[in-house]
């Protein structure tokens, strides 16, 4: 986490910073590395060092009132670090729940007892979480401030809550965790302003339990003790015999109050994601997840073969995945599936056949997908299977042979968010350690004259567009509950500039509020994050705030009306409620609704 710029005093370096900033402002364009280094050598930090980009941005914001600088947005854009992180239109903030017993016994799952189940302490997101001892407020505020100091806008935040099985945590912990995330988003602007003025340093918020004090480990070769035994015992030792403490509790009223504040906050939650297992979803859990404010659920398929699931002690069958998908889609959630090739009991041919079911059968067809080839971690039970020859990792060519046809099979309505988990190579005992394997796959496809059609391969990201030259195309497909329409904005080169997911159910829906409704499940316009107060044209090429989202909603209204629906619901995130009110939607208990007028007889 890059927060060092919040721990130095820009006023102490004012003379040098003014020199650096004025030199950058005088340039005609963003400085390349050589030009920036030349400027930094002219104005060294404390006479000997070099300012980081985040320190320069911090200095600009603190010193601007003294020197009359008024072009912050343009200046920051010149120095923005890792711009791809917000190129898809939102600022993703990932936080982890604390280590906690897990209902699963998957043989491939790591058993790092200092992390929530399946995560490893050296993964980047896990390291950030550990710095705050898994405190949700500290993690959220720290990540927002890190984005800000590196020049990224955080008006539109996608909160991604990872760690173990969300649905296995007590309800009181769930409500408290999310309430604290919203509290951090609501406090961001105040804390940011204090720090930018030079009146405060980066705040430290940490949880009460230091999991680094846990001295035990789990050895996958022997499994003489389980993850649940070690973590459960440690939690009870720290919390008077309980798995959660009284401090990790909030009421629904407190959460709903935080929701209302966030509707108009500077950092608004435009998407809230949790991850869980198929066998821990029922109607009550789906209602609870929606009441928490969630809009997307990550769910582990891992395999669509009962035989493979059983061989890996997954703990559920494919029927459970089908039921979970029906519940989630009926409730309007966006669905982000995980799938794992190279599991025990499978092989490259079976993996390719298994993948074809994901999009070939209406019961599945997720909106997003992570492909995680099985990695061998020493703490996983799979170590014993490797040692006695029951399992082996695929070779590079075998893995490539699986992933090429899989990536080609992904339809244009799905986004493959990741291929290969971000596990440090030192944690992988054997097998693939190439983290950019997607690039390897895409390069191989390109050499054959082929290309993926998934969303990530075709989105415009930060490229300039001409809204007047876009065309709106629907893509329709069947799901287990009815018909899905994927409305998409495409440019002359077929790049994806925005989309809307419209569900037209024909099967019974278990939620009374939306029993007879068409459902907008997602509206997304790509391009660099545009602030809520930004106008339609401030001189920067972008696609947000050009009316593209409104026109997508108009298309959904027209289609739902033509299909005979009299109500159009939207699974709005907390921070988008105000936007949908402006489009004629009114608040319901869990969704927002727009009444549809029947078409006129002459239409």
- For the chain, give the mean pLDDT: 90
Residue partners of 492: CB distance under 8 A and separation at least 6: 469
Which pLDDT belongs to residue 537?
Answer: 41
pLDDT of residue 119: 94
Looking at residue 238, its pLDDT comes to 94
What local confidence, expressed as pLDDT, does residue 560 receive? 98
Per the model's pLDDT, the better-predicted residue between 128 and 555 turns out to be: 555
User: Which residues are within 8 A (CB) of 325 and not within 5 positions of it... i.e. 6 or more apart?
Assistant: 278, 299, 335, 363, 364, 366, 480
Confidence of residue 88 (pLDDT cuts 50, 70, 90): low
Instruction: Give residue 6's pLDDT band: very low, low, confident or very high (50, 70, 90).
Output: low
pLDDT at 281 over 70: yes
Alpha helices in 154-279 (DSSP H): 171-196, 227-238, 252-262
Element housing 222 (H / E): none
pLDDT digit string, tens, across residues 152-161: 889 999 999 9
Tokens of 238: 């720290």
Residue-level pLDDT at 393: 97
Q: What is the pLDDT of residue 390?
A: 97
**Least confident residue range of 52-61, 223-232, 447-456, 567-576:** 52-61
* Cα distance between residue 44 and residue 40, in whole Å: 6
Most confident of 118-132, 524-538, 579-593: 579-593
Structure confidence at residue 528 (pLDDT):
52
Q: What pLDDT, on the 0 to 100 scale, is given for residue 65?
A: 86
Distance separating the N- and C-terminal Cα atoms of the chain: 57
Give residue 89's pLDDT: 66
Tokens read off for 194 = 């204090």
Tracing tokens 């997840």 back to the chain, one arrives at: 289
Is the pLDDT at 211 greater than 90? The verdict is yes
Whole-Å CA distances, 117 to 109, 113, 165, 380, 393: 8, 8, 8, 11, 22
> Both tokens of residue 314?
């997954």
Report the sign of the C-alpha dihedral through residues 227, 231, 234, 240, in that order: negative
Name which of 44-48, 83-87, 342-346 the model is least confident about.
83-87
> What is the model's pTM?
0.88
Q: What is the pLDDT of residue 278?
A: 97
Percent of the chain topping pLDDT 90: 70
Higher pLDDT, 224 or 420: 420
Alpha carbon distance 521, 518 (integer Å): 10
Task: Name the range with the highest mean pLDDT among 30-39, 211-220, 428-437, 575-584.
Answer: 575-584
20 or 483, greater pLDDT? 483
Given a cut of 70, whether residue 202 has pLDDT beyond it is: no
pLDDT band for 203, please (50, 70, 90 cuts). Answer: low
Q: What pLDDT is attached to residue 200?
A: 59
d(CA 585, CA 566): 13
Residue 415, φ and ψ in degrees, nearest 5: -110, 120
Q: What is the dihedral of CA 141, 144, 148, 151, to 10 degrees?
A: 160
Distance CA 544, CA 536 (A): 8
* CB contact set of 31 (below 8 Å; sequence gap of 6+): 24, 39, 78
Closest CA to 520 of 490, 565, 489: 565
Report the pLDDT averaged over residues 531-546: 45
Contact between 523 and 575 (Cβ < 8 Å) = no
| pLDDT grade for 549, boundaries at 50, 70 and 90 | very high
Q: How confident is the model at residue 602 (pLDDT cuts 50, 70, 90)?
A: low
Residue 546: per-residue pLDDT: 63
**Mind listing the pLDDT tens digit for each residue in 180-195?**
999 999 999 999 888 8
Please report which confidence band the pLDDT of residue 44 belongs to, taking 50, 70 and 90 as the band edges.
confident
pLDDT digits (tens, 9 = 90+) for 504-527: 999 999 999 999 999 999 999 986
Alpha carbon of 403 to those of 268, 301, 341, 374: distances in Å? 37, 17, 9, 13
pLDDT-derived band of residue 467, with 50, 70 and 90 as boundaries? confident
């Amino acid at each position: 986490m890059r927060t060092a710029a919040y721990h130095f005093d820009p006023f102490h370096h004012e003379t040098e910073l003014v020199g650096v900033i004025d030199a950058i402002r005088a340039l005609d364009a963003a400085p390349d590395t050589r030009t920036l280094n030349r400027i930094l050598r002219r104005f060294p930090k404390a006479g000997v060092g070099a300012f980081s980009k985040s320190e320069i941005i911090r200095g600009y914001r603190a010193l601007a009132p003294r020197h009359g600088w008024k072009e912050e947005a343009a200046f920051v854009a010149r120095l923005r670090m890792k711009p791809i992180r917000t190129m898809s239109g939102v600022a993703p903030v990932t936080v982890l729940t604390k280590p906690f017993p897990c209902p699963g016994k998957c043989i491939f799952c790591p058993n790092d007892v200092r992390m929530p189940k399946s995560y490893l302490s050296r993964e980047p997101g896990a390291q950030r979480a550990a710095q705050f001892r898994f405190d949700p407020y500290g993690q959220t505020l720290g990540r927002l401030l890190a984005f800000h100091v590196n020049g990224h806008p955080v008006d539109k935040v996608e909160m991604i809550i990872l760690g173990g099985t969300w649905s296995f945590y007590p309800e009181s912990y769930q409500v408290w965790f999310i309430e604290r995330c919203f509290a951090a988003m609501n406090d961001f602007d105040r804390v940011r302003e204090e720090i930018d003025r030079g009146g405060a340093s980066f705040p430290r918020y940490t949880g009460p339990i230091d999991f680094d004090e846990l001295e035990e480990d789990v050895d996958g070769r022997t499994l003489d003790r389980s993850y649940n035994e070690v973590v459960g015992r440690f939690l009870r030792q720290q919390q008077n015999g309980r798995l959660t403490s009284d401090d990790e509790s909030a009421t629904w009223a407190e959460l709903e109050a935080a929701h209302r504040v966030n509707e108009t906050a500077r950092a608004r939650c435009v998407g809230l994601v949790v991850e869980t297992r198929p066998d821990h979803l029922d109607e009550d859990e789906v209602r609870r997840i929606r009441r928490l404010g969630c809009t997307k659920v990550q769910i582990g398929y891992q395999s669509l073969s009962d035989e493979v699931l059983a061989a890996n002690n997954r703990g559920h069958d494919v029927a459970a995945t089908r039921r979970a998908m029906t519940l989630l889609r009926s409730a309007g959630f966006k669905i982000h599936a995980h799938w794992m090739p190279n599991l025990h009991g499978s092989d490259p041919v079976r993996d390719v056949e298994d993948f074809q079911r994901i999009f070939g059968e209406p019961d599945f067809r997720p909106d997003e997908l992570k492909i995680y080839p099985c990695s061998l971690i020493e703490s996983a039970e799979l170590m014993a299977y490797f040692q006695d020859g029951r399992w082996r990792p695929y070779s590079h060519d075998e893995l490539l042979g699986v992933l090429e046809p899989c990536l080609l099979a992904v339809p244009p309505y799905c986004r493959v968010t990741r291929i290969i988990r971000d596990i440090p190579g030192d944690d992988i005992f054997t097998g693939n350690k190439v983290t950019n394997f997607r690039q390897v796959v895409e390069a191989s496809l390109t050499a054959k004259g082929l290309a993926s059609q998934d969303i990530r391969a075709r989105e415009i990201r930060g490229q300039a567009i001409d809204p007047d030259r876009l065309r709106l195309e629907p893509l329709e497909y069947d799901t287990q509950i009815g018909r899905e329409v994927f409305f998409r904005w495409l440019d002359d080169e077929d790049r994806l500039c925005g989309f809307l997911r419209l569900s037209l159910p024909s099967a019974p829906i278990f939620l009374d509020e939306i029993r007879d409704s068409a459902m907008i499940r997602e509206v997304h316009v790509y391009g660099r994050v545009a602030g809520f107060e930004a106008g339609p044209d401030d001189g920067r090429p972008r696609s947000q705030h050009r009316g593209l989202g409104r026109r997508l909603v108009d298309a959904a209204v027209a289609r739902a009306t033509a299909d005979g629906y009299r109500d159009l619901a939207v699974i709005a995130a907390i921070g988008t409620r105000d936007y949908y009110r402006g489009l004629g939607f009114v608040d319901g208990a869990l969704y927002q609704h727009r009444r549809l007028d029947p078409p006129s007889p002459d239409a």
